[in-house]
Amino acid sequence: MAELRRLLLSPKQLVILLMLTVINLALFASNCRSIQENLTEYRKVQWEEGIDSAAAEKKEAAAYLKTGYAEYLQYVQEQSKKQGLLGKLSEKNSFITRNLEKTAKDYAKLEGIKLTQGQNRGLLAVSTYTVTDFLLLIAPLLLAIELAHESETAIGALARTTKNGHLALCIRRIAAIALLSAASVLCMYCGNMLYARRFFGSAGLHRMLQSVPEFQLCSMRITIGGYYFATAIIKCIAVTATALFLWIILSRFYKILSWLIAAPVLILHYLTGRLVMPTSSFNHLRYLNVFSALHTSMFFKEYCNLNWFGHASGFFADMLIFLILTLLILTGLSLYLIGHCHPVRIGQKLEQLKEQIEKRMAKHMPAYSVFGFEGWKLLIPQHVLLIAAVFSILGVFLWNDMFLYAPSVDTQKFYERYSGEITQAKIERIARQVIGETNRLNVEKRNYQRNIEQGHYQDAAWNDEQITICNFYLERYETMMDEMISLAKYKKKTGNEAWFLDDDTYEKVFNENAAEERCCLVLLLFLILAFYASGAFDNRYDTRMLLRSTKNGRAGILTSQIIWCAILTAIAVTALHGIFLLRVSGDIGFPMMEAPAQSIPAFRDLPFSVSLRTCIIVLMCLRFLAAMVISGAVMVISRFSKTPQRALMVSMVLLILPTALSQSGILPVRFLDFAHFLSCCKR
Amino acid sequence: MANKLEIRHLSQQYGEVRALDDVSFTLEPGVTGLLGANGAGKSTLMKLMTDHMKRTSGEILWNGTDILKMGKKWRELVGYTPQLPGLYDDFSAKRFLYYMGALKGMKKKDIREQTDQMLAAVNLSDCAHRKIGTFSGGMRQRVLLASSLLGRPQVLILDEPTAGLDPEERIRIRNDIADLARDRIVLLATHVVSDIACIAQNVLLIRKGKAIAFDTPLRLLENAEGKIGEFTGTYDEIRSLQKQYPNGEIAQHKDGFVLRVAEDPLPEGCVPVRDSITLEDVCHLYLKGDRTYG
């Protein structure tokens, strides 16, 4: 128990778990908001095209529940019979025949299941969100790395000399990894479920899983509650197995060789799970895969029978057997190799080779200035270069994930014609246009209404749709005219210029935007990870006193560190917001950048005259300053922390925790949202 | 005129604790050994001398100018080896010395030249490109010593530079320090009396923050005459006597067991030692009963 308590209830472990939970929650919450916003945006665009997508979806869902699923089951049986006949003609005992028989048998069991309507969006959000699956791995893998490292230290040697220092200790450590995996799943995956329930509404745990069209292929009689439970257990086993694998490798091999084995094995295993197609002859590699098990939902969204020497076997059962066997084998190996055998490691030659290479490289090492050395310290031993590379990749994924909808062609034409400086003549022209359009649409609307009343058209729904479109255009023209009049009044009242323009793009830049805030959370994370070790690195090695005794060891070091911090922060801010601006300007464009800032609602109250272009430049500068404030805060925390680990934890607790809580809506204290602070946007 | 470092009425207070109490002495070129128990105030004195902390009162004058006024100029003159081997594990020895050279404001050409010289001086040329993380305690200590010598400082402040070294290395380093001290001031704090016994021109003894003696080793030895003595007897007799003199050192001679004590005046039955008084005995005499000494 003491070992379990030491490993699981240490403040460090608890903070790691807490931070991962909160970060996961913030990311998931942001993802849910993005889903909601994208849906709204999509519906808006569809609406502009005259399509009521919400009604269409409802109709589709109702049709699926009423007849769609039953038809699908019937189709499976029919196909099976048809194909079966063909199969019997060719080869009676072939995999194809057996597969068809099994498929028909599996789906026959589902005849008559009761499907009910409910809120599916939460379940879909949880089942498709794979970031959590990777976050689940972090705490157990860190524990595995820590345990492997500990065995190299004096504590490890001391522990092995004690009575219970071999097998008994190993059993407890395996239990600790398993418990930590379970805790991670409980905190993060179950956290997602609860948040999705809160955000989208209850999915109805008692409903059959097949009630959700995306799970139509599932051949198990299982409720949504059962699905959640099963996936949590499977994820837990998969995480434990991965952590045990890493622990064994790191404990039995020297550092380089261990990572040369572990990293390719894990990456290849992951890639085979992702890249092998379900229809491939080697689909065993896809489904008998720990990472596939970790992304458990595929086993409920797909249907497949694996070919075992001509016999068809259900992929879910096979995956379960594979997973349990893997776990048992890895547990056995851990007990034998770590608990029983002597702690001998393999691969020392590679370490020596690395040392030789480092020596050769060091021979050509230049004598840097203090600034150069501080940069080197930050980039190489403090791993900022590596962190930056990882975040660059992450950034690319994030931006690819961002949806931007350009306004409809009609709207664009209207703005092209009338946007710009507001003059009396223009107002009158627009007013005439709007009144003309309004009258035309009113006439059209009346015609449609008359058509409905007189029953001229068979399909009443079509008429309804046309009326909806008319209403929409009317509303839009009225809004535009109101905006014009309000701008004219504003000009008269304040004397400030305010142009009529499409402010949609500017709203995306200056106002709250889910995608952008998520990227600011990434920026916040980057700044913390980049600078958490800046001061604590010296404290950890107790070099502070020695450095301070030198001529440039005080202001020289500090100035260099601040300059490096500014350079890296500027690069990060430019990369993040610059790409955003480029994407927005590429996809939608920034119209009328020379227009006065007061032209957009966000700057209506600005007391001085300035163009929108200047506003964007100022905003970028403010964002840089905000990022510098955060970087500075992290550097101060680091300076007063004894170790980098402690600095990281304190920074996470002080900066990420309130941000994540605020973003997920748990803590409604907006001023503690540091990601929002970094975005410098008006909320 | 020779350089002079004067410490005048230096005091340092940590809350209720007085770590240094009105300490005064003057250092001139040569080695000055600083002896005292753990917590006696040695490291505090060194921290004040390297301007690492704000002093409570007193002055530290370099050729008449307070080092606080000198700022960077003072630090340019000082080479310091801290007690804890504070080194970056990820740096190679050479890279660390380059870094220290840059921090000392040396020219790049001088850094390269002197780094090679210093590494050779501390016998680390073969390991110059190895990561410090793989070094033994003694090797790390030598890297620190080399770093303190970079830039040829006028004042060397060495806080236990021989800790963790094997006897052979200790002798080597001791001799190197003696060579270096010909034209510069060296303050060498240590627990190991033999480190300074043969190379120190002066010895400063600190006890509970107070400088209780500052003199040449010879004068200190002379002062100790008649205060160092020995009891001879069986093991049991000596053991029971040691209860009275817990700082007495037991040794086994051919005619029995001996308990060597440093007392003023010597107790009855104790035979004074005449010719073989060592600096170790002097320390026992001045610092006995002090926390963790010896």
- Of residues A212 and A494, which shows the higher confidence score? A212
Contact criterion met (CB < 8 Å) for B72 and A557 = no
Give the 3-state secondary structure of residue A311.
strand
Of A287 and A604, more confident: A287
Q: Which of A546, A547, A552, A558 to mutate to test the interface with B (most CBs of B within 10 A)?
A: A546
Q: Could you give the percent of chain B with pLDDT greater than 90?
A: 43
* Partner-chain residue, chosen from A377, A380, A542, that has the shortest CB–CB distance to B86: A542
Residue B52 pLDDT grade (very low, low, confident, very high; cuts 50, 70, 90): confident
What global pTM score does this model have?
Answer: 0.77
* CB proximity B155 to A under 8 Å: no
**Taking Cα atoms as reference points, which of B48, B75, B80 lies closest to residue B146?**
B80
The better pLDDT of the pair A71, A378 is held by A378
Query: Residue B292's pLDDT band (boundaries 50, 70, 90)?
Result: very low
Give backbone dihedrals phi and psi of A588, rounded to 5 degrees, phi first: -115, -40
Nearest residue in chain A measured CA to CA from B128: A359
The winner for highest mean pLDDT among A121-135, A194-208, A331-345, A554-568 is A554-568
Cβ–Cβ below 8 Å for A541 and B78: no
What lies within 8 Å, CB to CB, of A423 at 6+ separation is none
Q: Is B101 at the interface with chain A, CB within 8 A? A: yes
Given a cut of 80, is residue A572 above it in pLDDT?
yes
What pLDDT does B293 receive? 44
Determine the pLDDT at residue A408: 61
pLDDT digits (tens, 9 = 90+) for A216-240: 888 888 999 999 999 999 999 999 9
Distance CA A492, CA A499 (A): 13
What is the pLDDT confidence band of residue B74, given thresholds at 50, 70 and 90? Answer: very high
Q: What is the pLDDT of residue B294?
A: 38
At residue A92, the pLDDT reads 66
Please check the confidence at residue A140 and state whether its pLDDT lies above 60. yes
Weakest mean pLDDT among A1-5, A300-304, A534-538:
A1-5
Residue A668 pLDDT exceeds 80: no
**Closest Cβ opposite residue B88 in set A359, A370, A381:** A381
| Residue A158 Cα distances to A3, A150, A154, A334, A481, angstroms | 14, 11, 6, 19, 81
Choose the weakest-confidence range: A240-254, A390-404, A609-623. A390-404
What is the structure's pLDDT at A241?
A: 96
Backbone angles phi, psi at A234, to 5 degrees: -65, -45
Q: According to the model, what pLDDT value does residue A517 have?
A: 63
pLDDT at A65: 79
- State the best of B42, B48, B129, B148 to mutate against chain A, taking most chain A CBs within 10 Å: B129
Could you report the per-residue pLDDT of A85-122, keeping only the tens digit for each? 665 555 667 788 888 888 888 888 888 788 888 888 88
Residue in chain A nearest B43 by alpha carbon: A545
Is B92 within 8 Å of chain A by CB?
yes
Q: How confident is the model at residue B289 (pLDDT cuts 50, 70, 90)?
A: low
CB contact under 8 Å between B75 and A373, yes or no, is no
Q: Which of A62-71, A133-142, A335-344 has the lowest mean pLDDT?
A: A62-71
CB spacing of A541 vs B105 below 8 angstroms: no
Q: What mean pLDDT value characterizes chain A?
A: 84
Q: Which of B42, B103, B148, B157 to mutate to test the interface with A (most CBs of A within 10 A)?
A: B103
CATH architecture of the domain with residue range B5-216: 3-Layer(aba) Sandwich (3.40)
B164: left (phi over 0), alpha (psi -120 to 50) or beta: left
User: Does A542 contact chain B (CB < 8 Å)?
Assistant: yes
Chain B neighbors of A553, CB-CB under 8 A: 75, 103
Residue of A nearest to B113 (CA): A367
Q: Residue B190's closest CA among B5, B12, B37?
A: B37
What pLDDT, in 10s, does the model give residues B106-116? 999 999 999 99
Chain A CB within 8 Å of residue B107 CB: no
Predicted pLDDT of residue A565: 95
pLDDT for position A514: 47
> Taking CB atoms and an 8 Å limit, are A367 and B72 in contact across chains?
no
Mean pLDDT calculated for residue range A140-159: 88
Distances (CA, A) of A356 to A353, A361, A597, B127, B129: 5, 9, 61, 11, 9
Q: Looking at the complex, report in whole angstroms how far the Cα of residue A382 sits from the nearest Cα belonging to chain B.
A: 10
Asked whether the beta carbons of A623 and A680 are under 8 A apart, the reply is yes
Band (pLDDT 50/70/90 cuts) for residue B242 is: confident
Q: Which residues of A touch B47 (CB under 8 A)?
A: 545
Domain boundaries, chain B: 5-216, 225-276
Q: Determine the pLDDT at residue B263.
A: 87
When mean pLDDT is compared across A67-71, A600-604, B176-180, the lowest value belongs to: A600-604
The answer, yes or no, to whether residue A383 has pLDDT greater than 60, is: yes
Beta bridge partners, B60, equal: B7
Q: Does the beta-carbon distance from A373 to B80 stay under 8 Å?
A: no
Are the beta carbons of A372 and B72 separated by less than 8 Å?
Answer: no
CA atoms within 13 A on the CB side of B61: 13
pLDDT digits (tens, 9 = 90+) for A197-211: 988 888 788 888 888
CB contact under 8 A, B111 and A367: yes
Q: What is the mean pLDDT of residues A14-43?
A: 85
* pLDDT digit string, tens, across residues A254-268: 888 999 999 999 999
List pLDDT tens digits, range B198-232: 889 999 999 989 999 999 999 999 998 989 999 98
Q: What is the structure's pLDDT at A638? A: 96
